[in-house]
Amino acid sequence: MDKAEQKTGLFSVATALFVRDIRLAARRSTDVFNPLVFFVIVVSLFPLGVGPEPNQLQLMAPGVIWVAALLATMISLDRLFSHDFETGSLEQIVLAPQPLTLIIFAKIAAHWTLTGLPLVILMPLVAMQMNMTTDMIYISFLTLIIGTPILSLIGAIGAALTIGLRGGGVLVSLLVLPLYTPVLIFGAGAISASAQGFSPDAHLSLLGAFLALSLTFAPLAAAAAVRVSLD
């Protein structure tokens, strides 16, 4: 096999895995919908808890939406590896003659497509509940589209470390939520800043930098974690 052929080989393996994960999710659609419904419910609970005063809701909105996005992503992480582990597919994936980092990256991409992306699309709906202005919604859209991939990337590390463990779901939150703090701060900060009339650019750039860092290291760490978990 020459170099060029090998490269297309790598790409086709990643695509095959991506397509398979999307197809699997389509046939187990509750797995995909539950975190989204969870997201909407969590946001809807806040006005019930703190009162429907529009200005107060608007003030809290960035934080509420981001915390809800964090939690929704977290409960979806279980799906990333657990089915593959239980059926033995994960062994086969690890034994494939391809770089595991690339394969894991394809899985993370599929996870984001099924969790992060729908959250971004769903956000305007709950944003209106929280009395957000159009400008705020626009900035929220930007932060979520940069931020949610980070959630999938870092989350994959936690999911990989807890493969096959009892109580893995709660454990994952313990491992992953502290690591999510910068995303929460930059993401919610950008929306608040723009709502107060400041430029959100600094926040967005920092969020982007964090995304670049996670893109580089998270698939590596997750791949290492998968190997350790199957050992």
Among positions 87, 133, 199, 205, the unique one binding another protein when judged by CB under 8 A: 87
Within 112-131, the residues that bind another protein by CB under 8 A are none
Instruction: Work out which of 32, 117, 179, 215 binds another protein, going by CB under 8 A.
Output: 179
> Nearest distance from residue 183's CB to another protein, in Å?
9
23 vs 44, which CB is nearer to another protein? 23
Q: Which is nearer to another protein, 12 or 133 (CB)?
A: 12
Specify the residue, 28 or 128, whose C-beta has the smaller distance to another protein: 28
Q: What's the Rg (C-alpha) of the chain?
A: 19
- Cα–Cα distance measured from residue 161 to residue 168, given in angstroms and rounded to the nearest whole number: 9
Q: How far is the CB of 4 from another protein (least distance, A)?
A: 14
Q: Count of residues binding another protein (CB under 8 A)? A: 57
- Asked if 71 interacts with another protein (CB under 8 A), we say no
| CA 85 – CA 78 distance, rounded (Å) | 11
Q: Rule CB under 8 A: which residues touch another protein?
A: 1, 9-10, 12-13, 16-17, 20, 23-24, 27-28, 83-84, 86-89, 91-99, 154, 157, 161-162, 165-167, 171, 174-175, 177-179, 181-182, 185-186, 189, 193, 206, 210, 213, 217, 221, 224-225, 228-231
